[in-house]
Amino acid sequence: MEFDVAAFNETVGKIRTLANDLLHAVYPVMPPALDYFLDRLFWPFPVPGFVRDAAHKVLTWCYDAFVAFVDQMFSLLEGALVPVTAFLRGLAWSSERQKLDTLQLDVAAAVADVAITWTGPGASAFGHHADQHLTRLKDMTGLAGEMRDQAWKTAAAGLAFYVALATVIVKATATTTAAAASTAVDGPVGPAVAGAAAGIGTLEAIGLVATIGAVITEIATGTAALSDKANAVVRDWPSPGTADYSDGSASDGDRTDWSTQR
């Protein structure tokens, strides 16, 4: 799986920065711009109090929409470590799978070597038990591979989620920035458009959460099933059966007890 940790961290950093900018850079320009618009609109007369109050109610609504959107962004950033951690866990499971695969091949080769010189009831018993252990090793190798896949599926889902979230906030920031800049000319329309964009961004973020929630539920169900498989493999691991190997029937021509070579 391709996963650029640095690029992912950059995406998360962009989300964090833009969220901060909405409250500390975009919104602050609107109150003075709105006052400027009202002063020019009624110049040379003072702005009626009820007009200014109504305009500033729009501004308050805009601010509340910004706060809700930014809070949503920071809440979702709390899970930003999950994709990276899942990717690294996947690498660990991939390495474990390779080790188990190598062990499985080595054990199979050793069993085959023993079968060349060892015959008789003991050899048959050994071969039977060896096959059982090889089957369990194969099961363990498969489980490691499935755990790798589950971890990488989690990482991929998390990556896609945060990339989509970055798109949402970039779009919302572009719209709100333009709306804020137009407030001095358009008056309350600027804060209204900016607040609506923030509200839409919040709804889009909630939609993304619902989407990834379904994926994570599926992953969690699969991981629980793998845990059950792993417990079954450990529980049913075959006994060595060494008591059945004591005939020592090597094919080297003498009566050596328990050896295949002399």
pTM for the model stands at: 0.79
- In this predicted model, what pLDDT tens digit does every residue of 62-112 receive, in sequence order? 999 999 999 999 999 988 888 999 999 999 999 999 999 999 999 999 988
Q: pLDDT at position 262, please? A: 40
DSSP structural state of residue 28: G
CB atoms closer than 10 angstroms to residue 30: 26
Residue type, 47: V
pLDDT score at 242: 64
CA angle, 79 then 81 then 85, to 5°: 130
pLDDT at 252 over 50: no
Average pLDDT value for the chain? 85
Q: Give the pLDDT band (50/70/90) at residue 169.
A: very high
CB neighbour list of residue 252: distance below 8 Å, 6 or more residues apart: 117, 260, 261, 262
Beta bridge partners of 118: 250
Structure tokens at 111: 């069993």
Element (H, E) at 229: helix 189-235
Give the burial class of 214: count Cβ atoms within 10 A of its Cβ; 0-12 exposed, 13-18 middle, 19 or more buried. Answer: exposed
Q: Is residue 172 within 8 Å of residue 197, measured between CB atoms?
A: yes
Q: What is the band of 255 on the pLDDT scale with cuts at 50, 70, 90?
A: low
User: What is the predicted pLDDT for the residue at 232?
Assistant: 83
